Amino acid sequence: MDIAFQTSPDHPYVKQHPEWFVHRPDGAIQYAENPPKKYQDIYPFDFAGAGADGLWRELRSVFSHWIAQGVRIFRVDNPHTKPLGFWQWCLSTLKEEHPDVIFLAEAFTRPKLMYALAKAGFSQSYTYFTWRTTKPELTAYVQSIFGGGVGGGVGGGAGGDGREFFRPNFWPNTPDILPEHLQFGTRATFIARAVLAATLSPNWGIYGPAYELQEHVAREGAEEYAQNEKYQLRSWDLQRADSLRPVLRRLNRIRRENLALQRLDGTVFHQTDNESLICYSRTTADRHNAVLVVVNLDPHNKHSGWIDLDLGALALTANQTFQAHDLIGDDRHLWRGPRAFVSLDPQVMPAHIFGIRRRVHSEESFEYFL
Alpha helices per DSSP H over 274-357:
none
210: nearest Cα among 184, 234, 186:
234
What is the chain's pLDDT, residue by residue, as a tens digit (370 residues)? Answer: 999 999 999 999 999 999 999 999 998 999 988 777 788 899 999 999 999 999 999 999 999 999 999 999 999 999 999 999 999 999 999 999 999 999 999 998 888 999 999 999 999 999 999 999 999 999 999 999 887 666 544 333 335 577 788 999 999 999 989 999 999 999 999 999 999 999 999 999 999 899 999 999 999 988 999 998 888 899 999 899 999 999 999 999 999 999 999 998 899 999 999 999 999 999 999 999 999 999 999 999 999 999 999 999 999 999 899 999 999 999 999 999 999 999 999 999 999 999 999 865 666 555 554 4
Cβ contacts of residue 305 below 8 Å, gap of 6+? 272, 273, 274, 276, 277, 341, 342
Q: Which residues of 252-272 are buried (b: 16+ CB within 10 A; e: fewer)?
A: eebbeebbbbebbbbbbbbeb
Q: Establish how many alpha carbons lie within 13 A of residue 164's alpha carbon, considering only the half-sphere containing its beta carbon.
A: 7
The model's pTM is: 0.89
Q: Calculate helix-pair angle for 84-97, 111-120, nearest 10 degrees.
A: 30
Residues with a catalytic annotation lie at 77, 106
Q: Establish how many alpha carbons lie within 13 A of residue 369's alpha carbon, considering only the half-sphere containing its beta carbon.
A: 7
User: Is the Cβ–Cβ distance between 147 and 156 less than 8 Å?
Assistant: yes
Give the chain's radius of gyration (CA, Å): 24
Residue 148 CA: distances (Å) to CA of 145, 160, 190, 204, 347? 9, 7, 26, 19, 31
Cβ contacts of residue 63 below 8 Å, gap of 6+? 3, 74, 90, 94, 101
